[in-house]
Every structure is written in C-alpha cells, then in structure tokens.
Structure 1
C-alpha cells in the first residue's frame, strides 16, 4: 500500500507540473520501466486527466479528488459470465479491452457545454459500475444503461435509466431525479436502493435499503422508507407497496437469483439477460412450471442442469440458443 501511495503522489506531481517528460522523478521512471502494464496505466491516467479539464474549471480543481476519480474509473468492475463450455475466452485480453472501453466511454461522454452528461451501459452477459461526477455510485446489471445529466440552470441532477441497477446516491441540496422508460420518476435524497426498470417488463420495481425515495407518475405518488419495496404497473400507472425479502431483490450483486414461486418463463428471462442467450420454451411449460429456492451457478449450462433436476424438463444447446422441452 505504501508503494501505491508514493506512486500516486509522483503521478499527481507530474500532472500538476505540466507533464514535463524531462523532469520525470527517478522513482516514477523506475516504476514505468517495470512493466508494459504500468506504462499503459500511466498513459490512461494522462488521457483521463487531460479530458477532465474539459468540464472542470482549473481554479476549482482538486488534485486529490481528481486522482480518486481517475482511480475509481480504472477500478471499474466488469463481471463476465462464462456460459459456454465449447467457447474459449481469453479472459485477460477481454478484461483489458473492456477497461479501456469504459475509460474512453467515460472521457468521451463529457460534452463541452455548460451542462454535464455521462453515459454508461452494460451489455447482456456483463455487468459494470460507474462513479458519477457528483460522487454517486451505480452498479449496472446486464442489459442496463444510465445517462446522467446536470442541468446548471435548474440545479438538478437528472438520470435517464433503463434496466436494473443498484444506486448509492451522494447527498446534496440539488435534487437527484431518475426517469424510467415506463414513465415512472424517482426522486432521491442521499440514498441506497435497487431499481429494476427493463423496457420489456410490465412493471418497475424499487427496493429501498436506506434513505428516502419518492415514486411519482402523474397523480400517483409514494414516499418509501428503508426496508420497503414497491412496484409501478406500466399499464395501469398505479404504484403500490409489495411484500418480499428486501435483499433478494438485489441478489444479482452476488450472482444469485432468488426464486419464490417463479415461473420458468421469468427464470429464462433473467438467464437471457445474464448470459446473453436466447431461450425457446415449449408451449405450455413457461407458466406451468414454477420454482422456489436460489440459484448461484457459474455457467448457463450449470443453471439448466439444476432446473432440469428440479423439474420435468430437458434442454438442448446450439450456440447461443437454448430450447426447453418436457422430458
């Protein structure tokens, strides 16, 4: 840890000194010479540092805070499921590419204007997380997207959200409002909560861990307290509280799927998103077969093996397509 602190200080000093290559500290030179990964990491920091000046006034720039932001971006977690036994993944190369893509996405998302905007997404079969400019942390489940915008005139932090995410919103006097594709708005005050709002789902579900949020759609409003869960019906535009185990709603953070009388059709919808596959179910099976319990498997074939042991189904895999029939 001590070495990392020293390297941090040397890089910050280098950046503050105008990136003068002739005056590189010997310790920093030695660290760069140790490996190619150090040099690539150093180059990435410089790119993000330069980009930060496009949206941060120099007189208000805090070097320690900037370093922390850069470091958080560099540590963004990408969770990739290994879902096919017949496909070879080069994990290290994929992880490096994803990291670079995330960093470049972060840098390119800031437009040179009076307002600030950040966009981040997680494709099917992967997960990611992002630290927003206001310090809020968002962990994205598969098939999710978050677009953060700051309105300097209205002094509002606004997010357009699609998919599922766990939000840890930083406290501020400026409102934090999330808009979902289903027409539900979520007003947030320094809060931790899970929000499930996929475009193809009939409902939007919110689970509040701590703090306070307000769900609003037209005349419908509901202020939630810690430990409460609520759903918004897109068809009726009604908001109501629901019963359930709070932690089960964000079990995906631990790669767990909690099934409480869950039909096979819904289980398969989760699997399609998590593993980036397409599942076809024999007519009549989707709603008639239901499961209780928890799934925590590494591959989609492991999950299918478990489901076939628990019920009267069999499955066939062809590429990214899975067909399910009765035994």
Structure 2
C-alpha cells in the first residue's frame, strides 16, 4: 500500500505538470514493469484531460467552488444541467478529478459506494432537479426528493414526498420511488406525475408514457400510459380515476384544474403554492365544490375568482387568510 501511495504521488505530479513528457525516473520505472501500468496511467490521463472540458484549472478556486455548491444546496436553487454521472455532477472541475484519481489509486472506488443528491422545493416555490442518471424531476411546492444510486446493488432509488413530474431516463437499472406507508412506484424509463404529500390521505399517479407499477407490498397495480390511479393510504386500496390526464400536471403551467374539487382541497393547493395559512369556516370546506380552471398571478386574484364562483368572503392579514360565508 505504501508503494502504491508513492506511485500515486508521482502520477499526480505528472498530471499537474501537463501530462506530456515523462521526466520522473520513478514513474518511468513503474511504467516499464508491465503494460497494465501503462494502461492505468492512460486511464488517469483521460480522466484528467476530460476535466478540461469543464473549467480552466488556472482559474479554479477550491474554497469558492465548494462554498458556491453549499450555497446552491442551502437555497435549493434549480438544477438544469443534465448529468451523465455523479463525478461530473459534483464538480466537473480539475481539483475534483484530481481527487478521483487519488481515491482510485488508493483503492477507495473498489468498495461499495452510494451516490446521492437531494433537493427541497419550499412552500411558495417550485424547483427542477437533474438526477445523476439523466432523469429530470420537476418539483411542485412543498416537495422533497432524495436520489440514491448504489453501484453494487444496481438500483436507482428515490425517497419522495410532495408532487413531482418525473421524466425518468431509460435504463435496465430499476428506478424506484419510495414514499410514506411503504408505497412505491417502480419504473425502468417513463414519464409520469406523482402526487404524494405526507399529509394527504392518498397517493395519485398519472402516467403520460411508458409503464409503472404503483402500490405497496400487499397491493400493486401495473399502469399503462394515459391511466390515473389513486392509492388510499388509510385502506391500502387502489382505484383508477377518470378525467383529463393533463389536468394532473397542470401545475407545470401554473394552472389549477378543479374537477369537482372541494373548497378545502383548493385551499390546500393554495397554501402550498403561495406559502400562506388558510382557515375555513367550519363545515364550509366540504360544502362548496368547483369545476373549471384558475390561472392567476397572486393569491388575492385567486381568492377573488373563487368568491365570484361561490358564496364566500375572504380576509387577508399577511400570510394568514380566513374564508367565511358571505
């Protein structure tokens, strides 16, 4: 191990010097031993050269780079760049590629490694994340997602709560979305909307294309494109839903389709979308139902539209809103 560590130092020095002519006698002697050593050096050189596509090493500031990454994670900004693998996802920079080389020489990558990324869309915000496998997930307000890939188990696993539109990269490696109460969605490559807020009594999946399996360990249903299915977390029962599929992901276009939707359910959407607290007069939330679509810019405009559609009055005080009968 000491000898391998010594060679790694010489390889790193060689790469930092430009990776051209070999003037280091120790490195040259190691290369002359056998062809496999030469092939190993070529592999590290290719990794190093690839990093040049991502940034200029002369301009790279390690502390600033990691500070920026940390800031992005804390602010939960939108990730828009597709990522081929986690190495380039985390950095695409010379310093990190150098770290990969050192770790590889040390035998670290021979052990089982988990790769993970996480993102949260707070109430009042929406986000988009590109997962390391190339999948894209758009998150509605109040959603959390954590992606984990294990290179040994060959499983793409997502822990999720909230609402998201998944465009899953096609692969033979299973893609499993895990939610509360043991509910799962299993796919290989497909596009679907998933509504699974922790405080909702149901999980709703709307399949745009491909095939998915929805359910828990006792009750599963294979879905086909164009189908909408609901899983009741209280009874563990599955049922197919009728309606327009596009209405399920209307939120992507800032639209709320109300298909006989109760006032209580409408207000639950509004609380998440606008990060407000809404109090409804007792028994009023289930008495009033709406049909139609609303697409307003502010919470006040939405409430004004609802007041014209039904016999309600609203009062706004900061983030607190109360709704009563007129």
TM-score when normalising by structure 2 = 0.69
Counterparts of 2:134 and 2:94, CA distance in 1: 18
Q: Which stretch of the first structure deviates more once superposed, 298-307 or 177-186? A: 177-186
**SS at the partner of 1:280?**
strand
Whether contact under 8 Å (1:182, 1:199) holds in the other structure is no
Q: 1:137 to 1:157 in 2, by over 3 A?
A: same
Q: What is the aligned partner in structure 1 of residue 197 from structure 2?
A: 198
Deviation at 1:183, TM superposition (A): 2.1
Counterparts of 1:129 and 1:256, CA distance in 2: 18
Q: What is the aligned partner in structure 1 of residue 37 from structure 2?
A: none
Counterparts of 2:231 and 2:176, CA distance in 1: 16
**SS at the partner of 1:165?**
strand
Runs (5+) with no aligned partner, structure 1: 1-11, 23-44, 60-111
**SS at the partner of 1:182?**
helix
Whether contact under 8 Å (1:14, 1:20) holds in the other structure is no
Partner residue of 1:53 out of 96, 103, 107 = 96
Counterparts of 1:185 and 1:300, CA distance in 2: 33
Q: 1:313 to 1:147 in 2, by over 3 A?
A: same
**SS at the partner of 2:192?**
strand
Q: What is the aligned partner in structure 2 of residue 20 from structure 1?
A: 58
In the TM superposition, 1:298-313 aligns within 5 A as 298-313=297-312
TM-score when normalising by structure 1 = 0.69
Q: 1:17 to 1:146 in 2, by over 3 A?
A: closer
Counterparts of 2:307 and 2:121, CA distance in 1: 29
Q: 1:13 to 1:171 in 2, by over 3 A?
A: closer
Q: What is the aligned partner in structure 2 of residue 248 from structure 1?
A: 247
Q: What is the aligned partner in structure 2 of residue 119 from structure 1?
A: 118
**SS at the partner of 1:20?**
helix
Whether contact under 8 Å (2:261, 2:291) holds in the other structure is yes
Q: 1:311 to 1:154 in 2, by over 3 A?
A: same
**SS at the partner of 2:172?**
coil
Deviation at 1:46, TM superposition (A): 12
Whether contact under 8 Å (2:196, 2:202) holds in the other structure is yes
- Moved >6 Å (runs of 4+): none
Q: 1:126 to 1:225 in 2, by over 3 A?
A: same
Deviation at 1:160, TM superposition (A): 0.3
In the TM superposition, 1:100-119 aligns within 5 A as 114-119=113-118
1:187-244 deviations in Å (ceiling 9; x for gaps)? 0121000000000000000000001101131221111100001010101111221111
In the TM superposition, 1:152-191 aligns within 5 A as 152-191=151-190
**SS at the partner of 1:146?**
strand
Q: 1:155 to 1:281 in 2, by over 3 A?
A: same
